[in-house]
C-alpha cells in the first residue's frame, strides 16, 4: 500500500473503529495485530448497546449516549462500504422490576431528572412503565426503552475489516510503526502501559457468556439483575456476563452454567435451549472505569484508545470519530476524564 499515515496497534473493536474513521477521512491506514482481527474481548458474543441510567450523570455517560445516538447511521456506513452486515438492530430493551421499591425508584427517576429523560425520550430512549408478560417480573412491571440496540461482535469486526480494505486500508500481523501511532491493545496494552509508567492505570477483567439456540431475532434484549440476554439475527440468544478481577481458569468455568440457569429463570422460553457456545475473555478496564483516550504523554505522535471494558462496542462510534479528529486534524474534544493525565 502507499506510505502509511496512521498505524493502529490492535485489531479489536477500538482499533478497527478508529482505523475506519481515519480511512474515511482520507488517511492511509494500517492495523497491526499479531493475533488477527476481532480476537480476545472483541471476539465475544454479547453485543448489547444500552444507555446508563440518568442519575449521577458524568462524562462517560454523556459520551456513551452520544455514541448510541449516532450508532445506527455509523454502522450503516460500515456495511455500505464493505458489504458485510454487522448485525446491528435497534430493537430496545426490557428491564423487569423486582419489587414495589424498584417500581417507585423507576417512577422517581422520571420525576427527578426530567431534562435528561426528556432528551432520551426525544431520541426514543425511555418510555413509560408497562405490564410484563415476558420476561418474568416479580413486580409485574418492566421498564422499556427503544434506544438500546444490539450487534454481533464478530460480524462487526468482520464488517470493519471489509470496510477498511474497501478504502485501501489493511490489517496485518506484523509491520513497523509509520506515521501517527494509535495504541488500542486492550488488557495487554494496559499492563504494558502500567509497567512503562510505574503505576497501575488499568487491568484485565475476565468475563464469561454463553450462546443459546433460540430464535428471537426481532425481539428486544433483556436486562435483569445484572444479567443481559441479547437476541441476535442468526437465531441465537447471547447470555452474560460475569466480571472477575481474579481467576484461575482462563476459559469458561462453572460460573457460565449459573448464567445459563439464571437466564432460563428470567426467560422460561429458554428452558431446554441448546447451548451452542460457552465463551470467556479478558476485557480492559482503567482504574477509573473511564475510557483511556488521547495523546500518550512524552511520546510525540503516539496516542491511546483503550479501556472499553463492557461498553466498548457502544462507545466505538464516537470514540473513533473524536480520535480521528485528534490524530488527523489536531481537534481535541475529549473529556478530561478520559486522558491519561486525568488518572490518579
Of 218, 215, 239, 214, nearest to 228 by C-alpha is 239
pLDDT for position 235 = 97
| Residue in the block written with cell 440476554 | 229
The answer, as to whether pTM is greater than 0.75, is yes
Separation between Cα atoms, residue 156 and residue 19, nearest integer Å: 14
Alpha-carbon torsion (96, 99, 105, 111), positive or negative: positive
Q: To which residue does cell 471476539 refer?
A: 43
Quick one: pLDDT at residue 1? 46
- List, by residue range, all CATH 3.50.50.60 domains of the chain: 6-86+152-201+287-342
Please give the angle made by the CA atoms of 134, 75 and 86, to the nearest 5 degrees.
65
CB 92 within 8 A of CB 146: yes
Q: Report the C-alpha gap between 97 and 201 in whole angstroms.
A: 36
pLDDT in tens, the chain (344 residues): 456 799 999 999 999 999 999 999 999 999 999 999 999 899 999 999 998 888 888 999 999 999 999 999 999 999 999 999 999 999 999 988 888 898 888 887 767 665 666 666 556 555 555 543 367 788 888 888 889 999 999 999 999 999 999 999 999 999 999 999 999 999 999 999 999 999 999 999 999 999 999 999 999 999 998 999 999 999 999 999 999 999 999 999 999 999 999 999 999 999 999 999 999 999 999 999 999 999 998 899 999 999 999 999 999 999 999 999 999 999 999 999 999 887 77
Q: Which residue has the cell 427517576?
A: 109
CA separation for the pair 261, 276 (Å, rounded): 15
**15-72: pLDDT as tens digits:** 999 999 999 999 999 999 999 999 989 999 999 999 888 888 899 999 999 999 999 9
Contact 147, 92 (CB under 8 A): yes
Residue 244's nearest CA partner among 236, 235, 253 is 253
Which pLDDT score, from 0 to 100, does residue 130 have?
52
- 159-170 pLDDT, tens digit each: 999 999 999 999
Whether the Cβ atoms of residue 263 and residue 221 lie closer than 8 Å to each other: no
pLDDT at 53: 81
Rounded to an integer, what distance in angstroms lies between the CA atom of residue 340 and that of residue 284?
Answer: 15
Does domain 6-86+152-201+287-342 fall under CATH 3.50.50.60? My reply is yes
The counts of H helices and E strands in the chain are: 8, 16
Amino acid at each position: 500500500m502507499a506510505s502509511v499515515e496512521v498505524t493502529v496497534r490492535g485489531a479489536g473493536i477500538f482499533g478497527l473503529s478508529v482505523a475506519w474513521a481515519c480511512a474515511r477521512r482520507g488517511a492511509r491506514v494500517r492495523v497491526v495485530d499479531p493475533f488477527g482481527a476481532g480476537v480476545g474481548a472483541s471476539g465475544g458474543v454479547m453485543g448489547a448497546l444500552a444507555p446508563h441510567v440518568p442519575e449521577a450523570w458524568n462524562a462517560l455517560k454523556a459520551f456513551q449516549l452520544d455514541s448510541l445516538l449516532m450508532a445506527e447511521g455509523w454502522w450503516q456506513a460500515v456495511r455500505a462500504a464493505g458489504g458485510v452486515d454487522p448485525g446491528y438492530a435497534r430493537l430496545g430493551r426490557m428491564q423487569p422490576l423486582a419489587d414495589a421499591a424498584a417500581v417507585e425508584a423507576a417512577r422517581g427517576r422520571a420525576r427527578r431528572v426530567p431534562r435528561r429523560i426528556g432528551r432520551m425520550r426525544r431520541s426514543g430512549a425511555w418510555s413509560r412503565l408497562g405490564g410484563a408478560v415476558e420476561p418474568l417480573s416479580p413486580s409485574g412491571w418492566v421498564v422499556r426503552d427503544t434506544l438500546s440496540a444490539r450487534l454481533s461482535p464478530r460480524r462487526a469486526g468482520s464488517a470493519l475489516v471489509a470496510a477498511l480494505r474497501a478504502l485501501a486500508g489493511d490489517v496485518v500481523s506484523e509491520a513497523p510503526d509509520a506515521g501517527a501511532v494509535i495504541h488500542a491493545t486492550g488488557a495487554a496494552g494496559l499492563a504494558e502501559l502500567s509497567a512503562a509508567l510505574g503505576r497501575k492505570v488499568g487491568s484485565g477483567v475476565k468475563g464469561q457468556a454463553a450462546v443459546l439456540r433460540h430464535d428471537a431475532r426481532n425481539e428486544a434484549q433483556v436486562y435483569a439483575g445484572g444479567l443481559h440476554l441479547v437476541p441476535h439475527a442468526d437465531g441465537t440468544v447471547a447470555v452474560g456476563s460475569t466480571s472477575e478481577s481474579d481467576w484461575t481458569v482462563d476459559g469458561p468455568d462453572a460460573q457460565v452454567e449459573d448464567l445459563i440457569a439464571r437466564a432460563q429463570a428470567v426467560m422460561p422460553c429458554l428452558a431446554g435451549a441448546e447451548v451452542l457456545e460457552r465463551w470467556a475473555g479478558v476485557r480492559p478496564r482503567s482504574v477509573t472505569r473511564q475510557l483511556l483516550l488521547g495523546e500518550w504523554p512524552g511520546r510525540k505522535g503516539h496516542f491511546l484508545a483503550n479501556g472499553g471494558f463492557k461498553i466498548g462496542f457502544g462507545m466505538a462510534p464516537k470514540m473513533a470519530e473524536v480520535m480521528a479528529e485528534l490524530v488527523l486534524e489536531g481537534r481535541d474534544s475529549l473529556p478530561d476524564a478520559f486522558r491519561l493525565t486525568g488518572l490518579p
